[in-house]
Structure 1
Amino acid sequence: MLVVRPAGPADIDALLDLAFLSGKGFTSLPEDRAVLAERLALSAQSFAREVSPQHAWYTLMLEDTETGVIEGVAGIKGAVGLDRPHFSFRVMTLAQYSSATGTRFDHQALVLVNECTGSSEVGSLFLRPRKRQGGAGSLLARARYALIGANRDLFAATIMAELRGWFDERDESPFWHGIAAKFFRLPFEDADRMITATDGQFILDLAPRHPIYLELVDPAAREAIAKVHRHGARALAMLEDEGFTRSGLIDIFDGGPTVTAPRDQIRTVRNAQTLPAAAGVVEVAADERLHLVAVPGLATFRATLTPARITDDALVVPEATLAALGIRPGDPLIVS
């Protein structure tokens, strides 16, 4: 059975393996053992409530309980932009009119902004290729929202997500080469690494301070603006299904889109209910979906997809589900 659980320092080898598999442009999973070890230490502190909610970073692992193999990872940041600015480009329309010539032009432009301060962020969603079918991605993604819904006081009223931008068949970013590299003048890999390995001062030092008119930009870079990586299309669809919408913000390095949603309007959060668990046989029709169930709380959090029957006073699930989640009959369960 696949179960989502809190990550800790013992998961470093599995997390590093996933980081190498994730490939270029997956900024939140750097191929750096020391950085990832710090991430896991912070995750353990976050789940133990040893850091402030704004500075918490919760890392979740998708584990196959039968094999013990870690099949995926996802994360939630308590808040972004507090210790350093969280820069994005906003795609804006600049209108210009001349009465002397009787002409009007609407120019599309990129403007550097810092608008996401204080928002909580879901991200770092990555699965091994063999697990990208059969609902594993949905379980891992929705487990984040179940954790948020069970601990609303720890998260901001707005939840955001940044998606990896478009890379071509040569695994190169047209947006980086056509726009961002002209200001940072670094290899993409170096800039990508510095996002997580430094305080980000280089962005403040080098990022453009004036609007970038898109009429002056290389067409390939222009077409990549707000375009999602081929491996991120499914992630975007799942976010939109939960109620996230495009914000008009894009990543300053690869042009990937930022989507946002009100915390309490996320579908998994909005539809969740808490009931006492009960063990029993649950018949599932061929066209019936599995239910997301989760153990509330923080350090005790677990989530899985399972057959379930909702009654007036209990949530009936198979005995194996209770065992995988580490709970007993009568313990509370979230179902969505």
Structure 2
Amino acid sequence: MLIVRPAGPSDLASLMELAVLSGRGFTSLPEDEATLLNRLTLSEASFSGAIAPREAWYTLMLEDSETGRIEGLGGVRAAVGVARPHFSFRVMTLAQFSSAINTRFDHKALVLVNECAGWTEVGSLYLRPERRSGGAGSLLARSRYMLIGTERQRFSETVMAELRGYFAPDGTCPFWDGVASKFFRLPFDEADHMVMSTDGQFILDLAPRHPIYVELIDTAAQEAIGRVHIEGEAARAMLEHEGFRGSGLIDIFDGGPTYSVPRDSIRTIERTEVLAAMKGDPADAPERLVSTASLGGFRAIRAKVRIEEGVATLDGGAIDALRLKSGEMVRVRQ
């Protein structure tokens, strides 16, 4: 059985392995043990309630209960842009009009903004390539919304997701080469690593302060604006299914799009109800997404659930996987 559970420092080796597999451009999963250990320590403190809600960053591991192997991870960051600005480019239209020649010009431009401050971010969604079918991705992705639903007041009214930007078949990043590198003047991998391993001061120091006219950048970089990495297409489809839509914001490094949605409009949150759990035979009941109802001991699985008169009946394996006692509350996605 696949179980989504909180991550902690003991998961460092598995997280490092996934970081290596994830490849270039996966900013939230750098190949750096110190950075990953800090993240796992922060996750443990977040689930235990040891830090302020807005500073929490919850990391979830997808574990195969039969083999013990970690098959993927996902994350929920309670609020971005709190300790430091969270910069994006907004793709805007700047209109210019000349009465002398009675002509109007509309120019697309990239404008540096800090609009996401305080938003909750769902991200870090990564699965081993061999697990990208059979519902594992859906379980992992939706478990993040189940987590948010357990204690909504801990999370922002707006939820965002940043999708990895486009990389060419030769491994280059057209948006970085055509735009961002002109300001940061570092190799992409070095700048990408610095995002997570430093306080980000270099972004504050070097990011462009004035609009960048899209017509003035090369064609390859223009075409990469808002384009998703080939490995991110499935993630985008899942986001759209939950109600996320493009926000008009893009990443300042790789040009990938930022999607957003009102927290209470996320489909999984809307269609989830809280029920008392009971151990029994669900018989031919349908499989549903089910999680614990508390943040501290959060766990999520897919299992057969029979719902009758406010009671969710699950078999012994599901009850054990969720570490529940009969009568405890669960959240069930309809």
SS for the counterpart of 1:227 is coil
Shift of 1:308: 1.4
Please say which of residues 225-234 and 200-209 is displaced more in the overlay: 200-209
Which residue pairs with 1:319 in the alignment? 316
Number of residue pairs the alignment of both structures matches: 333
Give a deviation string over 1:94-125, Cα, whole Å, max 9, x none: 01111111111110000000001011111001
Which residue of the other structure, out of 284, 304, 308, is the alignment partner of 1:307?
304
Q: How does 1:233-312 map to 2 (within 5 A)?
A: 233-284=233-284, 290-312=287-309
Shift of 1:15: 0.4
**Identical pairs, percent:** 59
Letter in 1 for 2:19: A
Which residue pairs with 1:51 in the alignment? 51
Counterpart check, 1:331 vs 2:314:
no
Letter in 1 for 2:299: R
Letter in 2 for 1:327: L
Letter in 2 for 1:21: L
Which residue pairs with 2:90 in the alignment? 90
SS for the counterpart of 2:269 is helix
Which residue pairs with 1:72 in the alignment? 72
Shift of 1:296: 1.3
Query: Within 2, Cα distance between the matches of 1:226 and 1:204?
Result: 22
- CA 1:4–1:216 in 2, change beyond 3 Å: closer, same or farther? same
Give a deviation string over 1:53-75, Cα, whole Å, max 9, x none: 11111110000011110100111
Which residue pairs with 2:18 in the alignment? 18
SS for the counterpart of 1:17 is helix
Which blocks of at least 5 consecutive residues in structure 1 are unaligned?
none
Query: Within 2, Cα distance between the matches of 1:331 and 1:54?
Result: 28
Please say which of residues 228-237 and 306-315 is displaced more in the overlay: 306-315
SS for the counterpart of 2:144 is helix
Letter in 2 for 1:321: A
Which residue pairs with 2:228 in the alignment? 228
Query: Within 2, Cα distance between the matches of 1:28 and 1:44?
Result: 17
Query: Within 2, Cα distance between the matches of 1:116 and 1:24?
Result: 24
Query: Within 2, Cα distance between the matches of 1:42 and 1:88?
Result: 25
Shift of 1:319: 1.8
SS for the counterpart of 1:166 is coil
Query: Within 2, Cα distance between the matches of 1:171 and 1:60?
Result: 29
Query: Within 2, Cα distance between the matches of 1:297 and 1:313?
Result: 18
SS for the counterpart of 1:237 is helix
Query: Within 2, Cα distance between the matches of 1:71 and 1:81?
Result: 30
Shift of 1:313: 2.4
TM-score by length of 1: 0.97
Query: Within 2, Cα distance between the matches of 1:68 and 1:52?
Result: 32
TM-score by length of 2: 0.98
Which blocks of at least 5 consecutive residues in structure 2 are unaligned?
none
Please say which of residues 301-310 and 11-20 is displaced more in the overlay: 301-310
Letter in 1 for 2:310: D
Query: Within 2, Cα distance between the matches of 1:68 and 1:165?
Result: 32
Letter in 2 for 1:303: A
Query: Within 2, Cα distance between the matches of 1:284 and 1:172?
Result: 50
Query: Within 1, Cα distance between the matches of 2:279 and 2:199?
Result: 50
Letter in 2 for 1:294: S
Shift of 1:171: 1.5
Which residue pairs with 2:185 in the alignment? 185
Letter in 2 for 1:11: D
Shift of 1:325: 1.0
